[in-house]
Amino acid sequence: MRVTTHVGLTARALGARGMLLAGRDSGVVKSIRDVAERWGGDFRVEDQVSWKRCILDWKDAGGVVVHLTMYGERLQDREDEIRGNDKILVVVGAEKVPGEVFGLADFNIAVTSQPHSEISSLAVFLDRVFQGRELEAAFPGAKIRIVPSREGKITEEQ
């Protein structure tokens, strides 16, 4: 599985509403839509999005933009302030992010200033912004559901 697919599935599993993908990647879009179709919820995925248009429109509509980057301010210093916002657009993309994003973002936020992964940064960010509530989320319309268990693999087909 590719890194962009991990990003999308992480976003979905940890409470994000959708993923907007700069560039074209129908394979990633299909993988994530397939998961969403089978596992429920209403996660939205689009590719070929203009990242700049998307950021500007988001801000125009009153949303805030958080760019996750190892160069940013410490998450633990800003998370309370970020959590106060209703509409948050999270930008990730590791070394592929154009420098201009730093200036356009309302927050540049580092989940540690160490090199690791946009996937783990996104995961920690979402868990903290939602304060764990995302772990309680239901995914309506699922065709398959896991029953948490101590030792086995228990699934229910709907």
State which residue, 84 or 115, has the beta carbon closest to a copy of itself: 115
Give the separation between CA 126 and CA 145, rounded to whole angstroms.
Answer: 22
| Ranges within 53-82 binding a copy of itself (CB under 8 A) | 70-76
Length of the chain: 158
Q: Is 4 in the site for a copy of itself (CB under 8 A)?
A: no
* x/- track of binding to a copy of itself for residues 103-142 (CB under 8 A): x----x-xxxxxxxx-xxxxxx--xx---x-xxxx-x---
SS (H, E, C) 91-144: ECCHHHCCCHHHHHCCEEEECCCCCCCHHHHHHHHHHHHCCCHHHHCCCCCCCE
Residues that bind a copy of itself (CB under 8 A): 1, 3, 6, 9-10, 12-14, 35, 39, 70-76, 94, 102-103, 108, 110-117, 119-124, 127-128, 132, 134-137, 139, 145-154
